[in-house]
């Protein structure tokens, strides 16, 4: 390896290190960073020469002993300073600059010009499908500006990073931002995977020849999309638990350890959803270096700026750094590098940190002269820096997220980073390339129609080979199969194992005839009073010991195992912990001690139904994602299910997730003193609309046994894309034996439990019940018979 390259690699470690990242850049300016990355003047009495000496000794240390030693020394200095009573300011932020400076950038390995041309074609086709669809059907919708801003972020991934799933390698997992779907379709069109007819029928899937769903929906396009992402905020959280579940499978020996990555692409506006950032500390705690977030920071959401009066990038940087993530900012494109180089006083970085996002957005829509006056004009020295550049060049200073070299450098650093998840904060322009039709404008998110002139401008800007007349028809454009563009695109994907996204069911069906396992529960409890929850836990315990399905069961609890009498499983199944158990649990001398283990089977998620549900989704879709038939059983307080995390349940349904949701303490009975928030009488109403969810409200143990046994068969043997919701209660009573062969009725939702013994009565009635009310119905049967002579079945 050439010396220069090695230096690059070694130094890139420096950049991944919080202590030195970015600070190197500006330290020579002898001023201190504030929280938002702007500079403040140094206090009086500080000798410039002295500062210089300190900095030089750090440089020489770095040179002689490397970044790790330098980091250690700085850490010790920081500790020493604290002990000596120096109150160091908290700096969650680095300056408003690229985390990876120009001199540490790796060489771009692709053909940049060719990749630009391919990207331009994808841009065109993505725009064409939305514009055409809206010409045919006014207001059919679709989005142009999200992909326009994210194109480089995706294309660098497609050409250099996203590895497909193959029989030999599990592949990378990619969560695409929902509104960027047109761009992903447009790429698949160039790849020859989606026909022009289908592009034409974007959002009109029932047209002859089929169409394409508006957004990523595995239900609607089961061979293409893997993850539904358009309900914003869900995919960041789901991806974190997906990355964690991958480690769980490895630690339990269900799959080999690989370096496969989980990529999640999100919008900056999307980060306002509480779910987006709600689990980021889990990712760092679990050292999920298989996880990479890419936040497309176009500074805009649907209505306008995300933080007009602030800086969303700096805000996110401090949140993620505070949570222990590796943060890589990709803010400025290569055109800025020579200017930054000329800026020996660090004035430019200081200026970059001063603007609020609303001002940055304004710079996007204004002329080069405006940029000169309002951005560089704040200081004559800044003006001098850009004096040689004409106005047009100032307008075309690219942002980092539109520069493949900068994006490549960030992705490479991210995949190589060890020990922490990485977030890439990439600055882009919403509606990039749309010009007057919406680039950087507040209305851009909704832009679906372009006039003739706007189409021609876009065509010219991206060099699409269509003349003025043809281009206003917005035809789809795919170069010939043997063109260098198509050849290159195919070769890149071949090198990365195939096409992405692509969904396939990769697991083998189970035998799944578990008569022996469930039979015992058909007999009733022989007078012993048990609750349906206890009966279920008994089944779970037995399933965990089963030779076929035992190891595939994934019990999930949000800090409620004791509530449901599951604590005996702590010791027998173990609670999963990626680090095992570093302490001796207080109850180690008891039979049911709190056992954490690296190969533990239970996912004890703590108090997060959303996180537990994300684990449920990861485990219940592993039959496709990993080719492993894991069977999740997620038990929770039924009131904290549908009404709290129903959107995740919808996502699970869309994703064809399999498994069992168990709503405990259902039925508005024993918890009446705890107020309506604990009394579930409505979760079945909320479960009803989910089309592929089978919801049951059983009263007896045998019913649960029949439902679970049949559920495992339907989902894991027959491969049906359904999942189950079963409510459980905690009133103990004697479980009756199954009254004859009523299995079919149980599964279909109704059977005759007990007929009236009075066959002669003219007064007859039918009583219906399930769950808690069923036993009241049985009492009513007696009362009606004894008191009123009514024979009720
Ligand atoms: C939960 C949810 N709420 C609202 C929406 C509607 N919506 C779709 S896109 C969008 C704005 C997205 O902004 P951002 O996340 O910044 O993405 P960008 O398009 O700018 O990349 C909104 C509000 C949604 N899809 N999901
Ligand atoms: Mg945005």
* pLDDT beyond 70 at 20: no
Q: How much is the pLDDT for 179? A: 97
| 185, two tokens | 């379709």
- Residue 43's contacts (CB-CB under 8 Å, 6 or more residues apart) are none
Tens-place pLDDT, residues 239-255: 999 999 999 999 999 99
Report how far ligand 1's centroid is from the alpha carbon of 173 (Å). Answer: 22
Tens-place pLDDT, residues 543-558: 999 999 999 999 999 9
Give the pLDDT mean for 421-450: 93
Q: Give the number of the ligand closest to the Cα of residue 146.
A: 1
Q: Give the number of the ligand closest to the Cα of residue 214.
A: 1
Tens-place pLDDT, residues 505-536: 999 999 988 999 999 999 999 999 999 999 99
Q: Ligand 1: which of 272, 302, 438 to mutate, most ligand atoms within 8 Å of CB?
A: 302
Q: What pairing do the DSSP bridges indicate for beta strands 326-330 and 291-297?
A: unpaired
- Residue 599's contacts (CB-CB under 8 Å, 6 or more residues apart) are 251, 252, 253, 574, 576
SS3 453: helix
Reduced 3-state DSSP string for 251-282: HCCCCCCCCCCEEEEEECHHHHCHHHHHCHHH
Task: Report residue 269's pLDDT band, with 50, 70 and 90 as the boundaries.
Answer: very high
Task: Report residue 130's pLDDT band, with 50, 70 and 90 as the boundaries.
Answer: very high
Give the pLDDT mean for 610-625: 98
Using the atom order of ligand 1, give the atom closest to the CA of residue 271.
15
Q: Give the number of the ligand closest to the Cα of residue 302.
A: 1
Show the CA angle centred on residue 129, arms to residues 203 and 197, nearest 5°.
75
Task: Report residue 592's pLDDT band, with 50, 70 and 90 as the boundaries.
Answer: very high
Q: How much is the pLDDT for 30? A: 36
Q: Mean pLDDT lowest for which of 78-87, 425-434, 590-599?
A: 78-87
Q: Ligand 1: which of 148, 178, 264, 267 to mutate, most ligand atoms within 8 Å of CB?
A: 267
Q: Give the number of the ligand closest to the Cα of residue 267.
A: 1
* pLDDT beyond 60 at 565: yes
Q: Are 649 and 610 in contact (CB under 8 A)?
A: no
Give the pLDDT mean for 303-321: 98
Report how far ligand 1's centroid is from the alpha carbon of 232 (Å). Answer: 6
Q: Are 346 and 114 in contact (CB under 8 A)?
A: no
* pLDDT beyond 90 at 679: no
Give the pLDDT mean for 771-789: 96
Task: Report residue 433's pLDDT band, with 50, 70 and 90 as the boundaries.
Answer: very high
Q: Quote the mean pLDDT of the chain.
A: 92
Q: Ligand 1: which of 445, 610, 654 to mutate, most ligand atoms within 8 Å of CB?
A: 445
Q: How much is the pLDDT for 634? A: 98
Report how far ligand 1's centroid is from the alpha carbon of 649 (Å). Answer: 20
Q: How much is the pLDDT for 43? A: 61
Pocket of ligand 1 (CB under 6 A): 146, 149, 179, 230-233, 267-270, 296, 298, 300-302, 306, 430, 445
| 714, two tokens | 């339907």
* pLDDT beyond 80 at 686: yes
Q: How much is the pLDDT for 75? A: 85
Q: How much is the pLDDT for 59? A: 86
* pLDDT beyond 80 at 727: yes
């Amino acid at each position: 390896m050439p010396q220069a390259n090695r230096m690059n690699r070694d130094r890139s470690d420096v950049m991944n290190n919080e202590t030195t990242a970015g600070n190197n850049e500006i330290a020579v300016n002898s001023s201190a960073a504030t929280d938002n990355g702007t500079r403040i003047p140094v206090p009086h009495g500080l000798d410039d020469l002295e500062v210089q000496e300190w900095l030089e000794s750090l440089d020489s240390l770095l040179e002689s002993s490397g970044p790790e030693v330098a980091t250690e020394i700085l850490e010790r200095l920081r500790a020493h300073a604290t002990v000596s009573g120096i109150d160091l300011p908290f700096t969650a932020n680095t300056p408003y600059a690229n985390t990876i400076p120009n001199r540490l950038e790796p060489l771009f390995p692709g053909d940049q010009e060719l990749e630009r041309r391919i990207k331009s074609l994808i841009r065109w086709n993505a725009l064409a499908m939305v514009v055409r669809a809206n010409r045919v059907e006014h207001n059919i919708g679709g989005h142009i500006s999200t992909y326009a801003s994210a194109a480089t972020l995706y294309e660098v991934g497609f050409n250099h990073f996203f590895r497909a799933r193959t029989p030999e390698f599990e592949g990378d997992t990619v969560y695409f931002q929902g509104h960027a779907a047109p761009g992903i379709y447009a790429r698949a069109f160039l790849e020859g995977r989606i026909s022009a007819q289908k592009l034409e029928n974007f959002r009109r899937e029932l047209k002859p020849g089929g169409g394409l769903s508006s957004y990523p929906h595995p239900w609607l396009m089961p061979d293409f999309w893997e993850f539904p992402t358009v309900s914003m905020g869900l995919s960041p959280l789901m991806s974190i638990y997906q990355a964690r579940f991958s480690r769980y499978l490895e630690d339990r020996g269900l799959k080999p350890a690989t370096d496969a990555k989980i990529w999640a692409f999100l919008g900056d506006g999307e980060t306002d959803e509480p779910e987006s950032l709600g689990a980021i500390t889990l990712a760092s705690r679990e050292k999920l270096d298989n996880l990479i977030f890419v936040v497309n920071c176009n500074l805009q959401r649907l209505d306008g700026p995300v933080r007009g009066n602030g800086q969303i990038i700096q805000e996110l940087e401090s949140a993620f750094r505070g949570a222990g993530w590796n943060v890589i900012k990709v803010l400025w494109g290569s055109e800025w590098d020579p200017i930054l180089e000329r800026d020996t006083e660090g004035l430019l970085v200081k200026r970059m940190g001063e603007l609020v996002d609303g001002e940055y957005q304004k710079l996007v829509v204004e002329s080069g002269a405006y940029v000169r006056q309002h951005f560089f004009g704040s200081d004559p020295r800044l003006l001098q820096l850009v004096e040689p550049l004409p106005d047009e060049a100032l307008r075309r200073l690219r942002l980092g997220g539109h520069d493949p070299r900068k994006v490549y450098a960030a992705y490479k650093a991210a995949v190589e980073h060890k020990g922490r998840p990485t977030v890439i904060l990439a600055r882009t322009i919403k509606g990039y390339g749309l010009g007057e039709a919406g680039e950087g404008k507040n209305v851009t998110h909704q832009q679906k129609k372009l006039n003739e002139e706007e189409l021609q401008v876009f065509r010219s800007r991206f060099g699409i080979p269509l003349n003025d007349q043809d281009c206003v028809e917005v035809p789809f454009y795919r170069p010939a199969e043997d063109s260098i563009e198509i050849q290159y695109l195919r070769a890149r994907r071949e090198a990365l194992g195939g096409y992405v996204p692509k969904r396939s069911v990769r697991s083998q069906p189970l035998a799944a005839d578990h008569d022996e396992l469930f039979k015992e529960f058909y007999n009733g409890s022989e007078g012993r009073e048990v609750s349906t929850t206890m009966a279920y836990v008994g089944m779970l315990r037995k399933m965990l010991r089963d030779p076929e399905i035992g190891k595939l069961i994934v019990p999930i609890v949000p800090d409620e195992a004791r509530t449901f009498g599951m604590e005996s499983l702590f010791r027998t199944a173990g609670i999963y912990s990626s680090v095992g158990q570093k302490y001796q649990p207080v109850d180690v001398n008891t039979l049911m001690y709190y056992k954490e283990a690296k190969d533990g089977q239970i996912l004890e998620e703590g108090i997060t139904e959303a996180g537990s549900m994300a684990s449920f989704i990861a485990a219940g879709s592993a039959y496709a994602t990993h080719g492993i038939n894991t069977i999740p059983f997620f038990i929770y307080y039924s009131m904290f299910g549908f009404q709290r995390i129903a959107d995740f349940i919808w996502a699970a349904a869309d994703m064809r997730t399999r498994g069992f949701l168990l709503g405990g303490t259902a039925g508005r009975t024993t918890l009446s003193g705890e107020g309506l928030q604990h009394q579930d009488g409505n979760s079945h109403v909320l479960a009803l609309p989910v089309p592929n969810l089978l919801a049951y409200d059983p009263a007896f143990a045998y019913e649960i046994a029949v439902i679970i046994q049949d559920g495992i068969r339907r989902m894991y043997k027959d491969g049906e894309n359904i999942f189950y919701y079963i409510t459980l209660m905690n009133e103990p009573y004697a479980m009756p034996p199954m009254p004859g062969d009523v299995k079919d009725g149980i599964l279909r939702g109704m059977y005759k439990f007990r007929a009236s013994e009075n066959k002669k009565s003219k007064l007859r009635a039918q009583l219906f019940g399930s769950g808690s009310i069923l036993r009241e119905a049985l009492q009513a049967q007696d009362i009606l018979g004894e008191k009123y002579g009514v024979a009720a079945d």
